[in-house]
Amino acid sequence: MTNFLKQTVASLIGSLLGLFIFCGISTTGLLLLLFAIAASQDVSPVVKDKSVVVFDLSMKITDREPSAGEVLQETLSGSEEERITLRKVLDALDKARRDPKIVGIYLDATHTGAGDNIGFASLKEIRKALEEFRAAGKKVVAYGQDWGKKEYYLSSVADTVVLNPLGAMEVNGLSSQPMFLTGALQKFGIGVQVVRVGKFKGAVEPLILNKLSPENREQTQKLLDDVWSEWRTTVGASRKINPQKLQAIADNQAILEAPAAKTNGLVDQVAYHDQVVANLKKLTASDQNDKTFRQVDLIEYAQYVNKSLNTERQSNNKIAVVYAEGEIVDGKGDNEQVGGDRFAKIFNKIRQDKNVKAVVLRINSPGGSATAAEVMQREVRLTHEVKPVVVSMGDVAASGGYWIASDSNRIFAEPNTITGSIGVFGILFNGQKLANDNGITWDVVKTARYADTQTVARPKSPQELAIYQRSVNRIYNLFLNKVAQGRKLPEQKVAEIAQGRIWSGVAAKQIGLVDEIGGLNAAVQYAAKQAELGNDWQLKEYPRESSLGESLFGGAVEDVSTVLGIKGKQIKTTAPLTAEFRKLQQELGAFQSMNDPKGIYARLPFNLKIE
């Protein structure tokens, strides 16, 4: 612990010194920095009467809070981006609905990017909160220039949808375009052998095939059909357009320019930004000479809400919300991963905390290490035995993500949540051809037949593959048994719906893998009911970040950036070719996260991405 503190402090000092040198900050700059840190405490936005909350749809929305280290690193590197948690978005929208000072919400879709960081399930929950806001008699206005399907899915809920005259919108259905690495691996001499269970376990296909298998194509098509059906139904209901008409638009037009979008009823007005601002000035009773309308940014309003909620709701009865977001890995993992050991300790602590009366496990994970999932699931089960544990599935809760969810009081998912994928696989790489082609060879001396089974110097023999297959079969059967017991389903039925197949949330409910359609708020309310808390409870979120970073910086990073003159909204645009290179980088990154000690994984297909 002492070494950790020394290294942390040394790193901190070094980073600050580097920042000062880089920016040419003098003693005066240092004093300004310290002043900014001190001044950042207890700063709340001023919310004026008849204000509109501005919701920038391009900002990053995640389940968990970023660590202080992540925020600091982004600031120092100049790559910071606006981000907020889903929980804060929902709380802010709910508070705005009840806040007499707030008269409307402005959905700003002028910058694209929502599709890169959030899925349809999370958008579904935000959309529901916006619907409730409208139902309270308040206005929602959406304005965009180039709407993607995700941005429009959210924006279509508005009273008034406005598109720039030179703008366009994408209504062309959904697609998934997996990337296959088989040819590249063969070209470079990397051997791949796979052991798996389940005919739908498509996670290994990018390594052994050059196109989708019939089974994988079938399950992907069904998933896309379900998500697209929900999109057409939801958007159609808001815009009073028949879902069949939306399908016809997707099949025949795909990209609608502003006039066509208005003719087809997808937007209400075709206008420029200044015209939208003029109307919002009227809504907020702003002076026409003012530069803009009376407004408050969603992130700032969320900070205001967070403080007011803490004041409103204070209770010794806690509902713990545990965010399992990212790859499931063996060990502790980093901030963007679900480390089995780290999360097991969290549940162990929660279980022994008498003030925690119920737990909501929020899962947004494609799975990963089977060993890590089992370590975590054991603690979840033990916690479930002494207090309610309710699962809320986000955009994806598949394979290992479903493993940790299986033993709980109740499972909530959105209709478009990706879940299931109950299957197991192992990947065995070897570099024999690569090495031999470059003049490298190996030899071996051993005392038993299988002493060198772990080698990457050669492919595995049929006998060795049989050993791995037995291990995979055993873990798969364990997975089936856990689901059967946790979901109270016959093992034969679980075996039929498993096979590594992925399901949408609505399909998962039909087959018994999910109990109820609903989001994080619904799960929290159910947990409070199960614990018989009434309205006497308060949320407590996990994982909790290091208090060291918080005590040193708190909310000061944004103010520090302003003082240094390096703050500024960065609009990221990605060229199609660059996007494919990033996809490849993500594929390779997935392999780096594969650290299961047995080499066995319960994971979603690596490159399943709905576009």
d(CA 573, CA 115): 12
Q: Is 439 left (phi over 0), alpha (psi -120 to 50) or beta?
A: left
In angstroms, rounded to a whole number, what is the distance separating the alpha carbons of residues 339 and 470?
A: 26
Say how many Å lie between the first and final Cα of the chain, rounded.
45
Please compute Rg for the chain using Cα positions: 26
Whether 183 contacts 157, CB under 8 Å: no
* Whether residue 27 has pLDDT greater than 80: no
pLDDT reported for residue 33: 47
Rounded distance, CA 4 to CA 549, Å? 13
Q: Where are the beta strands (DSSP E) in 292-355?
A: 295-297, 318-325, 327-329, 337-339
Q: 221: how many CB neighbours lie within 10 A of its CB?
A: 12
In the block, tokens 């919400």 appear at 105
Task: Say which residue the tokens 């399992």 belong to.
Answer: 324
Q: Is the pLDDT of residue 166 over 90?
A: yes
Would you call 168 exposed, middle or buried from its count of C-beta atoms within 10 A (0-12, 13-18, 19+)?
Answer: middle
Task: Tell me the domains of the chain and their CATH numbers.
Answer: 51-175+216-305 (3.90.226.10)
Q: What is the three-state SS of 454-507?
A: CCCCCCCCHHHHHHHHHHHHHHHHHHHHHHHHHHCCCHHHHHHHCCCCEEEHHH
The predicted pLDDT at position 554 comes to: 41
DSSP letter string over 171-235? E----------HHHHHHTT-EEEEEEE-TT-GGGHHHH-SS--HHHHHHHHHHHHHHHHHHHHHH
Tens-place pLDDT, residues 81-114: 678 999 999 999 999 999 999 999 999 998 866 5
Question: What gap in Å lies between CA 342 and CA 339, rounded to an integer?
Answer: 5
pLDDT digits (tens, 9 = 90+) for 182-230: 999 999 999 999 998 877 777 888 889 999 999 999 999 999 999 999 9
d(CA 410, CA 261): 42
Q: Where does 372-469 show beta strands of DSSP type E?
A: 389-398, 410-413, 418-420, 424-430
In the block, tokens 């802010």 appear at: 92
- Mean pLDDT, rounded, for 411-436: 92
Backbone dihedral angles phi then psi of residue 599, each to the nearest 5 degrees: 70, 25
Query: Catalytic residue among 58, 286, 399, 593, which?
Result: 399
Please check whether residue 260 is in contact with residue 163, taking contact to mean a CB–CB distance below 8 angstroms.
Answer: no
Q: Which of 88, 95, 149, 201 is catalytic?
A: 201
Quickly state the pLDDT bin for 581 (edges 50, 70, 90).
Answer: low
Task: Report the candidate in 136, 226, 90 with the shortest Cα–Cα distance to residue 520.
Answer: 90
pLDDT digits (tens, 9 = 90+) for 278-303: 999 999 998 877 889 999 999 999 98
Distance separating alpha carbons of residues 471 and 484, to the nearest angstrom = 20
Active site residue 88: no
In the residue annotation, 67 being an active-site residue is answered as no
Angle between helices 68-77 and 2-23 (to 10 degrees): 20
- What is the average pLDDT value for the chain, to the nearest integer? 84
Is residue 306 within 8 Å of residue 90, measured between CB atoms? no
In the structure, what pLDDT confidence band is assigned to residue 514 with cuts at 50, 70 and 90?
A: very high
396, HSE (Cβ side, Cα atoms, 13 Å): 26
Q: Apex CA 96: angle with CA 145 and CA 68, to 5°? A: 80
Q: How far apart are CA 414 and CA 518, in angstroms?
A: 5
Which residue type does 388 have? P
Contacts of 241 (CB under 8 A, 6+ apart): 235, 264, 265, 266
pLDDT tens digits for range 518-558: 999 999 999 999 999 999 999 999 997 654 444 344 433 33
Per-residue pLDDT at 13 exceeds 50: no
Closest CA to 605 of 95, 241, 5, 198: 198
Find all residues with CB under 8 Å of 150, minimum gap 6, and list them: 114, 115, 118, 120, 123
Tens digit of each residue's pLDDT (9 = 90 or more) over 233-249: 999 999 999 999 999 99
- Indicate if the alpha-carbon torsion angle 180, 183, 184, 186 is positive or negative: positive
Rounded Cα distance, 561 and 574, in Å: 25
Q: Are 369 and 601 contacting, i.e. CB atoms less than 8 angstroms apart?
A: yes
pLDDT at 77 over 60: no
The pLDDT of 457-464, averaged and rounded, is 93
